[in-house]
Structure formats: structure tokens, C-alpha cells
């Protein structure tokens, strides 16, 4: 039997070896075939997306008037999530016979193209127009199929509809809840061209343009003006073009964002298909590795209003629902306004503004949050539960500082007084703090909370190295073992403390954490000094940093 097995292996060996050789030959032939395909300028498609490389890129630019190209990496998670939406958008544009097409480049394989167009992150989307290879336009739309289609449609056709008579403009204004109409005496002038630029970018709004003198007269205008027409709140808001400065695209965009919002917004959280990056600050959304953008949060956070006043309530309670009336009454004073001569407000506001009366920016956005609905997800960010409703919080968006009344008072006058006190710097922020664990100082890594941070970090007899982390952060998770090993190494040193603090559950008055993990070193001695660690996150580098008193020794030349 042994011999039979040996003979069988002897006979099968060459056969198996030959099969391996055949496979190698086949693989080599397929590789050569792929290389021949790459060298050709033929353009293949995958799900209506053009597959581009250095040999067919020029041809694609020649053949397509508008070409949006995604530079991607096959291993990139964001690219993988974008792929279905990108393909769907390509299909929609193809089906409507649009001159706009979508293409993709594997930037890890096509390194010359990646270098030429300065690709440093994935995915990066660039628009090439009329074959211009030297000045592509960065994509600024939403990262979902609808956002991509709308963004491309605005660039494929006129960004604003020409409105030539009273019937047309009336039907246009009544066609949607919110439209923007630019009244310009010269559609080829600089102000009108700036307006078209804004219209091309703000694809979530509908834009029209008019130059007929009779339409200026109908709407009471005497000079170039951008008008925002709404079916809610004030029905019309006018933004006259400054004769001296012209039309500033950034300022007009900001004003349209602000005044397109309802006086009181309701927070909703309907998930979109593809997540977009969300920073830790500038948003009071919980950030377990950034969530998909909610339905109204794009508007709420996109308006860049510096303070958000939040009313948390249970919408199933009629008594709590009634609190919205006084909340709304308080909102009007902080809306921001466009000032007019002759005492006219922004609802009536026709005519030319006085130079000494510039637009007054909105200071506070009012938002209602239903604690039993979409708002339930944001409650932990405020250290709250549904049982805490009704209650009020004001958030300063630049640093996510939260402010709370000593005793909730829901009258409109009390709300206004509270907000003004915060704006005047007379109210201290309300800081979150978890309770310290019973064993917080028994393990090598000391566990700090808001309540205990000061006494540990600023102990003048200790050198304290603190990791500020978020439980959901993959970078924090990746360095957790190194931090534990570092703490184990120094657990017997009386003058060194290795600690950590969950910054999603604890806040500090004078230290703002902008990303995770953040490492700060607090040296012994007076003065409340703090050094941010920005080097390699490994045990040996950490150790050299500590042994050298909070700095890394210079490497020998």
C-alpha cells in the first residue's frame, strides 16, 4: 500500500506540475492581454462609468464636454461606499442623454494621473469641462447619487431659469416652497455672473433670473437685487447688490443658507445612502465615526450660524408641544435681518439699502428636538435622557460649549434674556462629567473624568500624560495596547502618571479636544503648563518623550 501511494504520487506529480505550469501560462497571457488593453485608448465602461487610465484619459476629455472623474483607491472604505451611488448617478445622466458623463481612475495604479491632478486623498472628484485638462473644478456637492446628478445638471445647463414675463415669474415663484430670483438690469454684467456662480453651487435650491424692466416694477425694485421667495415665515427677503462692492458670492451664499431656514427648525435624522465626513466640532451630532448626514442637519449645520438654541421636548405630550409657541416668539429677535430705509423690514423690504445699514448676521438658530423621535440619538451628547424633557440648551458651535438655565423657564422673555446673557459672556458653560469609577487609580492607566481632571492633571508633584479618546474611534482602539504597555512600564514611578479620559462623556472648561486620540502632557511644577504630543504613537517614542521631560530628543545627524 505504501508503495502504491508512492507510485501514485510519482505519477501524479508531473501531471500536477504540468497543470500548475498551464495555469501560470494562462495567468501570464491574461496579464499581457490586460496590459495591451491599458495601452489602448479604448474607453471601457462599468455600470455606465468610464474606466479611465493614462492612455485613454485625453480621448475621454476630447469626447465628453462635461466629465466628472472620481480618483479612488480600491482599498478605501469611503470609495467602496460611494461606488453604488456614483454608478447610479452615471446611469441617470446617461438615460437622460445629458452631455455630462462620469468616469473613474484607480489612482493607486495610475500614479502619473494622480500626480498630475494632485490627488492626496480618496475619493477625490474633479470636473473637466470642454477638454480643459489644466484647470479641473473640485466637486462640491453631496456624496450621493441625487447630489451628484443635481450638481452635474446645473453645470450641463443654465444654472438659473430666465423669467421673461409676469405669468412666468409668478408660476416659478409658486412652483416650490422656496425659490431664488435674481433681478439684474444686465445679465452679462459682473453681478449677474456672480449670481450664476452661486446658482451653480447651491444645487439644493432653485434659481431664476429676470432683467425685464416691468418685472423690476412689479416687485418694487429699482436696482439689482436677489430675492428669496418662501411659502413660510416672511414670504420674501431681498438682498440688494451693493453698488460699490458688487455681489459677493460667499456672502450671498451665506445669507441664502440662513434665510432659507425656517425660523424654528425641527431636527430630523433620515439616513442618506453615503456618509460624508463630519467634524467633531461645528456639529452637536453624536459622532460615532461620522454618521450619515441627517435630512435637516445639512441645513442646520451648513448655515454656519454660531449659536444653536435647542428645545428638547416630547412631541407626544400636548403640554410640551405648546412650548413651541413661546420658543418661536423668542426666535425672531435673533434671526438676523436685512435693514432697509424708511423703516421697512425684510418682509416688505423694497428699495435701496442705506450704506450705513449693512445686513446684520444671524446669531442664533432655534431648533426643536423630539426626544422620542430622531432626537433620541443626540441625547447622550448632552448627557441627557428623554425624562429630562422639556428642557433648553444653547450650544456655541465653534467649540461645542453647552449652556443651561439654572432653572428652565420657557417664556419668550426668559429665553431671550438667557441667550443674551450667554452672548455677553455672563453665563458659564455646562460641562459634562461622568462619575469616577471606584477603581480609577488602581490600574496602571488612571481613569479621569471631568470632576477629577484638575486635581490629577495639574498636580505639581506629577508629570501626567493623558490620552483623550472616544470609545468608537478606531485610531484610539489601535493605540490602546501601546498605552496600556506604557502605563505598565511606568506604574512604579511616583512622578509619572499615565491616564486617559473619555472626551465624549467628559468636558473641560479650558481644554477643547478637536480630534481623537489627542495626547497632552502636563509637566510637574507650577504654572498649569500643557504640551501636546504630536509624534509617533508607539511605546518607545512615548517613553523617550517622558524621559526627556515632555520633549523628544533631537536625532543625531
**For residues 492 and 484, what is the distance between their CA atoms, to the nearest angstrom?**
14
Nearest to 352 by CA among 224, 234, 181: 224
The kind and range of the H/E element at 533 are: strand 531-533
Inter-residue contact 368 to 296 (CB < 8 Å): no
Q: Where are the beta strands (DSSP E) in 85-203?
A: 100-106, 124-129, 137-138, 161-162, 178-183
Q: How far apart are CA 280 and CA 286, in angstroms?
A: 8
Q: Which grid coordinates belong to 437?
A: 469609577
Q: Rounded CA gap, 169 and 192, in Å?
A: 17
Looking up cell 455672563, which residue turns up?
426
Exposed/middle/buried for 314, CB within 10 Å: 0-12, 13-18, 19+? middle
For residue 101, the cross-strand partners are: 67
My answer on whether omega of the bond before 390 falls inside 30° of 0, hence cis, is yes
Q: Locate 501 and state its grid cell.
A: 479620559
Residue written as grid cell 421673461: 164
Please give the Cα distance from 312 to 421 (Å, whole number). 20
By annotation, the residues acting in catalysis are: 76, 79, 473, 476
Q: Round to whole Å and give the CA distance between 149 and 98.
A: 10
Amino acid at each position: 500500500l505504501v508503495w502504491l501511494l508512492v507510485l501514485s504520487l510519482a505519477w501524479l506529480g508531473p501531471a500536477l506540475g504540468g497543470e500548475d505550469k498551464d495555469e501560470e501560462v494562462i495567468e501570464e497571457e491574461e496579464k499581457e492581454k490586460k496590459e495591451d488593453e491599458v495601452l489602448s485608448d479604448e474607453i471601457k465602461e462599468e455600470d455606465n462609468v468610464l474606466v479611465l487610465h493614462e492612455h485613454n484619459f485625453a480621448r475621454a476629455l476630447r469626447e465628453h464636454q462635461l466629465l466628472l472623474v472620481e480618483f479612488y483607491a480600491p482599498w478605501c472604505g469611503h470609495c467602496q461606499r460611494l461606488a453604488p451611488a456614483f454608478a447610479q448617478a452615471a446611469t441617470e445622466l446617461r438615460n437622460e442623454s445629458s452631455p455630462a458623463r462620469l468616469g473613474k481612475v484607480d489612482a493607486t495604479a495610475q500614479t502619473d494621473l494622480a500626480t498630475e491632478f494632485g490627488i492626496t486623498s480618496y475619493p477625490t472628484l474633479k470636473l473637466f469641462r470642454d477638454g480643459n485638462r489644466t484647470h479641473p473644478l473640485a466637486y462640491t456637492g453631496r456624496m450621493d447619487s441625487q447630489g451628484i446628478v443635481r450638481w452635474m445638471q446645473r453645470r450641463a445647463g443654465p444654472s438659473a431659469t430666465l423669467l421673461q414675463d409676469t405669468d412666468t415669474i409668478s408660476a416659478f415663484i409658486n412652483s416650490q416652497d422656496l425659490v431664488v430670483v435674481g433681478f439684474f438690469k444686465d445679465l452679462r454684467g459682473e453681478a449677474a455672473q456672480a449670481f450664476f456662480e452661486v446658482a451653480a453651487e447651491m444645487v439644493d435650491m432653485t434659481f431664476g433670473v429676470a432683467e425685464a424692466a416691468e418685472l423690476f416694477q412689479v416687485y418694487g425694485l429699482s436696482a439689482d437685487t436677489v430675492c428669496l421667495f418662501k411659502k413660510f415665515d416672511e414670504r420674501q427677503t431681498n438682498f440688494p447688490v451693493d453698488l460699490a462692492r458688487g455681489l459677493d458670492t460667499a456672502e450671498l451664499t451665506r445669507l441664502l443658507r440662513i434665510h432659507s431656514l425656517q425660523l424654528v427648525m425641527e431636527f430630523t435624522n433620515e439616513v442618506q445612502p453615503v456618509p460624508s465626513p463630519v467634524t467633531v466640532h461645528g456639529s452637536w451630532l453624536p459622532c460615532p465615526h461620522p454618521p450619515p448626514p441627517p435630512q435637516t442637519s445639512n441645513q442646520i449645520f451648513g448655515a454656519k450660524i454660531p449659536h444653536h438654541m435647542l428645545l428638547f421636548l416630547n412631541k407626544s405630550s400636548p403640554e410640551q408641544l405648546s412650548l413651541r409657541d413661546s420658543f418661536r416668539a423668542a426666535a425672531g429677535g435673533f434671526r438676523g435681518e436685512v435693514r432697509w430705509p424708511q423703516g421697512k423690514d425684510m418682509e416688505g423690504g423694497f428699495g435701496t439699502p442705506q450704506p450705513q445699514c449693512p445686513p446684520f448676521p444671524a446669531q442664533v438658530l432655534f431648533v426643536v428636538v423630539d426626544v422620542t423621535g430622531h432626537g433620541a440619538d443626540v441625547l447622550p451628547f448632552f448627557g441627557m435622557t428623554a425624562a429630562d424633557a422639556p428642557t433648553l440648551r444653547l450650544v456655541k458651535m465653534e467649540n461645542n460649549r453647552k449652556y443651561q438655565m439654572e432653572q428652565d423657564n420657557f417664556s419668550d422673555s426668559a429665553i431671550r434674556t438667557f441667550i443674551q446673557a450667554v452672548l455677553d459672556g455672563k453665563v458659564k458653560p455646562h460641562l459634562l462629567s461622568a462619575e469616577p469609577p471606584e477603581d480609577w487609580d488602581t490600574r496602571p492607566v488612571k481613569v479621569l473624568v471631568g470632576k477629577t481632571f484638575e486635581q490629577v492633571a495639574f498636580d505639581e508633584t506629577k508629570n501626567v500624560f493623558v490620552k483623550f479618546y472616544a470609545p468608537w474611534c478606531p485610531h484610539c482602539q489601535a493605540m490602546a495596547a501601546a498605552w496600556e504597555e506604557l502605563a505598565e512600564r511606568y506604574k512604579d514611578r511616583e512622578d509619572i502618571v499615565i491616564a486617559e479620559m473619555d472626551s465624549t462623556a467628559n468636558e473641560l472648561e479650558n481644554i477643547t479636544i478637536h480630534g481623537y486620540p489627542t495626547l497632552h502632557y502636563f509637566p510637574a511644577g507650577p504654572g498649569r503648563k500643557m504640551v501636546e504630543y504630536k509624534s509617533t504613537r508607539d511605546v518607545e517614542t512615548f517613553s523617550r518623550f517622558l524621559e526627556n521631560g515632555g520633549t523628544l530628543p533631537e536625532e543625531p545627524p
